[in-house]
Structure 1
Amino acid sequence: MREALASGTVSDDLILNILSRRREPATPHSIVTSEDRMLSHPPIADCASYDRLRGYDAAA
């Protein structure tokens, strides 16, 4: 454990911490989307349309 020895402090907590960091999965690559996949008309929130679909007699 070169990393533990290089820090100057050797303890079981430090060694367990180093080992757990080495087991962590690699971070995934970010996904880059192109301009042609972007929405040309983003959705608009219209809660009244849901009320119309439910009907006016539905419990609020």
Structure 2
Amino acid sequence: MLVVETIAKIRRAHFVEGKSIKQTCRELRVSRNTVRKIIRSGAT
């Protein structure tokens, strides 16, 4: 299960820093499907 901090890092990387999903996956070492799910959901 992901920690709230990790979710916040993923959302910040995608929306604020403009990083791609693939780049975010590599940096935070989470799966691409996880990143997509977090970006699509509105929860923080």
Q: Same fold (TM over 0.5)?
A: no
Greater RCO (CA < 8 Å, at least 6 residues apart): 2
TM-score category, normalised to shorter length:
0.3 to 0.5
TM-score normalised according to structure 2 size:
0.37
- Decide which structure has greater helix share: 2
Q: Is the radius of gyration larger for structure 1 or structure 2?
A: 1
